[in-house]
Amino acid sequence: MKQNTKYIHAGSHPDPSTGAIMTPIYQTSTYVQEAPGVNKGFEYARSQNPTRQALEEALAIIEEGRYGLAFSSGVAATDAVIKLLSPGDEVICGNDMYGGTYRLFSKVFERFGIKFIYVNQQDVANIKAEIRPATKLIWVETPTNPLMNIADIEAITSLAKQHNIITCVDNTFASPYLQNPLTLGADIVMHSVTKYLGGHSDVIQGALVMNDKDLREKLYFLQKSCGAVPGPMDCFLVLRGIKTLHVRMQRHCENGRAVAHFLRSHPKVGKVYWPGFEDHQGHDVAKKQMRDFGGMISFELKDDSVETARKVLSSTKIFSLAESLGGVESLINHPASMTHASIPREERIKNGLSDSLIRLSVGIEDQEDLIEDLRQAIN
Ligand code: P1T
């Protein structure tokens, strides 16, 4: 099956009892058993739910993997991956990542004796230099949130394999439409489904996709034991969202390209972070591992005062000032005070995330309206 057809049909089976073409929302907490232990494969909805099962099948298919697991949020999915580890284990991760992931690592799991080492993953040598016997996981986010850094997934996974280290790639910014890390050697792909997969800013959800059966069993055990499962209504909404992922992503990419070029040509705009530019540090790697460059863009103004940035952030009319990304509507965000406020300021500045950085999630509205909105706000 080719890529676009997959988005429409992945996980879809006519309902056996009625023929309903859309997977029903099985809004139930439990299932009646014929006799103790005699059931239809469904015992209790934290462990199994048919709507979730259909979604998990779809997630696996569109990420080119064998097994999918859905969670109640992106951070819940990340939480399950880190719970594969034990006290004393070490994780090498990027020095630019979603603030909530950093908070989970540094404020929750550090307390349980897991050590996180933050490096610039644009250069694989930085990862190699930190590998020790205790290293059990390499956590990769690419493109990164919000600086749009690119890590070479294939180079990292081949290094990890030499040392028996698991690699998990947070593929939220690219979505499965643009990048499939499992085909590049990753062991686990993580998604904040909240974003492009849901696509309509109406669901909080996370996902993991993998190929290895043993890893799937361990992660399924954590999913049901810790209980961060999504409800069936949310699974239904994401099944619906996935059916249009390809058409939405095509427009996100087209609009992203137009907005990035507009920003770069604007006399008041300073640095624009978008991997589609040929002079972006990660452009060649992005071209190799992604199908296009997506709709996420960050930028700074030449006047880099926080006050000026705040004025722009409050002046857009179509771009709404909000956290999150990947929905059909365009959003504008101030990482330093919003999505990345949980990272200590000195850490942020050291890694290039300035107080005046502005992040855009370019939606699928008319390009001209988006550019005009940014023009009036910047002017
Ligand atoms: O919000 P949640 O579904 O729990 O997903 C967390 C998450 C994980 N990984 C990446 C790359 C993310 O961007 C996110 C969530 N990010 C935002 C809410 C944001 O505005 O950046």
Do 70 and 23 contact (CB within 8 A), yes or no?
Answer: no
- So what's the pLDDT on residue 58? 98
Averaged pLDDT for residues 112-141 = 98
Prediction pTM value: 0.98
Residue 332, pLDDT above cutoff 90: yes
For the chain, where do the domains classified as CATH 3.90.1150.10 start and end? Answer: 245-378
Does the annotation count 170 as an active-site position?
yes
Catalytic residue among 7, 26, 67, 98: 98
Averaged pLDDT for residues 302-327 = 97
1: confidence class by pLDDT, cuts 50, 70, 90: confident
Averaged pLDDT for residues 186-192 = 99
Cα dihedral angle (267, 269, 270, 272), rounded to 10 degrees? -120
Averaged pLDDT for residues 363-379 = 98
- So what's the pLDDT on residue 142? 98
Residue bearing the bigger pLDDT, 237 or 304: 237
Q: What is the CA(207)–ligand 1 centre distance, in A?
A: 12
The CA-atom distances, in angstroms, between 143 and each of 95, 151, 171, 185, 290 are: 12, 7, 8, 17, 10
The CA-atom distances, in angstroms, between 228 and each of 46, 58, 195 are: 8, 19, 18
- Atom number in ligand 1 closest to CA 144: 11
373: confidence class by pLDDT, cuts 50, 70, 90: very high
Residue-wise pLDDT for 2-31, tens only, equals: 999 999 999 999 999 999 999 999 999 999
Asked: is 3-242 a CATH 3.40.640.10 domain? The reply is yes
What does CATH list as the number for 245-378? 3.90.1150.10
The CA-atom distances, in angstroms, between 177 and each of 7, 61, 136, 238, 265 are: 9, 12, 29, 15, 28
- So what's the pLDDT on residue 244? 98
- Atom number in ligand 1 closest to CA 145: 11
- So what's the pLDDT on residue 75? 98
Residue 155, pLDDT above cutoff 90: yes
- So what's the pLDDT on residue 138? 99
* pLDDT, mean over the chain: 97
Strands 331-333 and 320-321: parallel
- So what's the pLDDT on residue 348? 95
How many angstroms separate the CA atoms of 292 and 125, rounded? Answer: 26
How many angstroms separate the CA atoms of 11 and 263, rounded? Answer: 40
Token readout for 323 is: 């956290």
Residue of the CA atom closest to atom 4 of ligand 1: 74
- Atom number in ligand 1 closest to CA 206: 3
For the chain, where do the domains classified as CATH 3.40.640.10 start and end? Answer: 3-242
Q: What is the CA(353)–ligand 1 centre distance, in A?
A: 17
Does the annotation count 40 as an active-site position?
no
Does the annotation count 46 as an active-site position?
yes
Residue 278, pLDDT above cutoff 90: yes
Residue of the CA atom closest to atom 3 of ligand 1: 74
149: confidence class by pLDDT, cuts 50, 70, 90: very high
Residue 150, pLDDT above cutoff 90: yes
Residue 338, pLDDT above cutoff 90: yes
